[in-house]
Amino acid sequence: MLDKLIKLFRIPDLRNKVLFILALLAIFRITAAIPAPGIDTLRLKEFFDQNQLFGFISTFTGGALDSLSIGMLGLGPYITASIIMQLLTMIFPKLEQMYKYEGEAGRSKFNQYSRFLTVPLSLMQGYAFLSLLMRQGAIGSLDMLGWATALTSVTAGALFLMWLGELITEKNMGNGVSLLILAGIVSGAPVAIRNAVVTYDPSQLFTYVAFVVIAIVVISGVVFINEAQRNIPVNYARRVRGFRQYGGVSTYLPMRVNNAGVIPIIFALSLLLFPTMIAGFFQGTNIPVVSSALSAVVNLVQNPWIYGGAYFMLVVLFTFFYTAVTFDPKSIADNVQKQGGYIPGIRPGQPTVAFLSHLLNRVTLVGAIFLGLIAVLPSIVQGGTGITLFTIGGTSILIVVAVAVEMMKQIDAQLAMYEY
């Protein structure tokens, strides 16, 4: 590990990329500390200390929400826009054609639509958050100018963070969105450790030991699943051109158990938090039927077993969905056939596509169930023992470890490229 870091900083291009990414992460943390205009931070802090849900949301924005900074929305609007666009590919064939079969130009245009959709979503989410906080008495009333200033600030902050994430992704050192979320989670670690030390109670020794054990199991499991892959043997036929012979070699096609990485967790969290936010926004309505229905929704989401079940199902579904979008068996089978390759015992063409699809579903099922179990492990522990220490721990560890492993793999690829 130390040798890799030394090599990384010895190569000027890679060193500049690392320093550039660190500078962007520092700017992200500064953005999280700049409050939006007209906000009473003291009243807001009291509200977040008493509200577990919003504290959970604030964790993934690096504390930007509990200070109502200009980056309070974090990357939520951009992630939501990406989810909507990915889902639309299943409805509109032209979008699917653009994303999958038009190459880099098509994906660039597809991502541009996601950026455009981020603007109205930022305005909607900003208005919903501020209105909900006003109803809860966390912030004072805003006049027309106050609304315009606050919404403009938080929308600009969300777009700015989206831009930072894309700048980081362009450096090929990791996914920018995932790295910013990782930075937001890690930024709260020192405070959490300090609070754990200050409030340490010998009678809760089992809680701390259980947390360490679960953390080790989760870290080991995530690393194992991220590195696991199914190798599919591929043979290439011999070809003679002139006096030279080509092909005749055997290789393998790697199929990762977890092709989606940490994206299903982020998508699932975004969808789970959305109904609660909408229910809280309309909960103060004067219509009794609507108010009681929304209260029932909030109570259902706050139930750890129902929340855990929905979380598990969403993680599994998004794992399959994202894998289907990024791993296309038909295009892979066509590429192998064009290069003169074939899978032993499988005929080229449609039989190869069917074989790859069947194998992909089996392999992805293992990774999806494992990710879902790790994601809901905190909810299971909390529901069974009443311990609230694990409310965020499992998901945070999952995201941090998965993003760190993926980043190290990309750094290894960069180092290998420079060595060759």
**Distance between CA atoms of 38 and 144, rounded to whole angstroms?**
12
In terms of pLDDT, which residue wins out, 241 or 216?
216
**Distance between CA atoms of 167 and 132, rounded to whole angstroms?**
33
* Predicted confidence (pLDDT) at residue 119 exceeds the cutoff of 70: yes
Q: What is 298-346 written as a DSSP string?
A: HHHHHSHHHHHHHHHHHHHHHHHHHHHHH--HHHHHHHHHHTTEE-TTS
Enter the tokens of residue 275.
């109904």
Q: What is the pLDDT of residue 334?
A: 83
Q: What is the pLDDT of residue 387?
A: 52
Q: What is the pLDDT of residue 1?
A: 65
**Distance between CA atoms of 59 and 188, rounded to whole angstroms?**
7
> Using one digit for the tens of pLDDT, what is the confidence trace for 179-213?
888 887 777 777 667 766 777 667 767 777 777 77
Least confident of 113-122, 166-175, 401-410: 401-410
Q: What is the pLDDT of residue 304?
A: 65
Q: At 325, is the pLDDT very low, low, confident or very high (cuts 50, 70, 90)?
A: confident
> Using one digit for the tens of pLDDT, what is the confidence trace for 335-388?
888 877 888 888 888 888 888 888 888 888 988 888 888 777 766 666 555 555
> Using one digit for the tens of pLDDT, what is the confidence trace for 249-272?
778 888 888 887 777 877 787 777
Task: Give CA angle at 196 (192, 199), nearest 5°.
Answer: 130
The answer to whether 363 touches 257, Cβ cutoff 8 Å, is yes
Enter the tokens of residue 293.
């229905």
Which neighbouring-strand residues pair with 35?
69
Largest Cα span, the chain: 86
Torsions phi, psi for 5 (to 5 deg): -65, -40
Identify the CATH homologous superfamily for domain 201-420. SecY subunit domain (1.10.3370.10)
**Distance between CA atoms of 84 and 193, rounded to whole angstroms?**
37
Question: What 3-state class would DSSP assign to 230?
Answer: strand
Torsions phi, psi for 128 (to 5 deg): -65, -45
Q: What is the pLDDT of residue 386?
A: 52
Q: What is the pLDDT of residue 348?
A: 83
Torsions phi, psi for 252 (to 5 deg): -145, 155
**Distance between CA atoms of 408 and 417, rounded to whole angstroms?**
14
Q: What is the pLDDT of residue 414?
A: 79
Q: What is the pLDDT of residue 66?
A: 59
Q: What is the pLDDT of residue 183?
A: 82
Identical fold between 1-197 and 201-420:
yes
In terms of pLDDT, which residue wins out, 387 or 217?
217
Q: At 232, is the pLDDT very low, low, confident or very high (cuts 50, 70, 90)?
A: confident
Q: What is the pLDDT of residue 298?
A: 65
Q: What is the pLDDT of residue 287?
A: 67
Q: What is the pLDDT of residue 280?
A: 57
State percent of the chain over pLDDT 70.
Answer: 73
The answer to whether 320 touches 364, Cβ cutoff 8 Å, is yes
> Using one digit for the tens of pLDDT, what is the confidence trace for 28-74?
888 877 776 656 666 666 666 655 555 555 555 555 565 667 777 77
Task: Tell me which residue has tokens 């926004």.
Answer: 281
Per-domain residue ranges of the chain: 1-197, 201-420
- Top-confidence range, 22-26, 182-186, 258-262, 309-313: 22-26
Enter the tokens of residue 198.
């200050």
Task: Provide mean pLDDT across the span 169-179.
Answer: 82
* Predicted confidence (pLDDT) at residue 296 exceeds the cutoff of 60: yes
**Which CATH entry fits the domain spanning 1-197: 3.30.479.30, 1.10.630.10, 3.65.10.10, 1.10.3370.10?**
1.10.3370.10
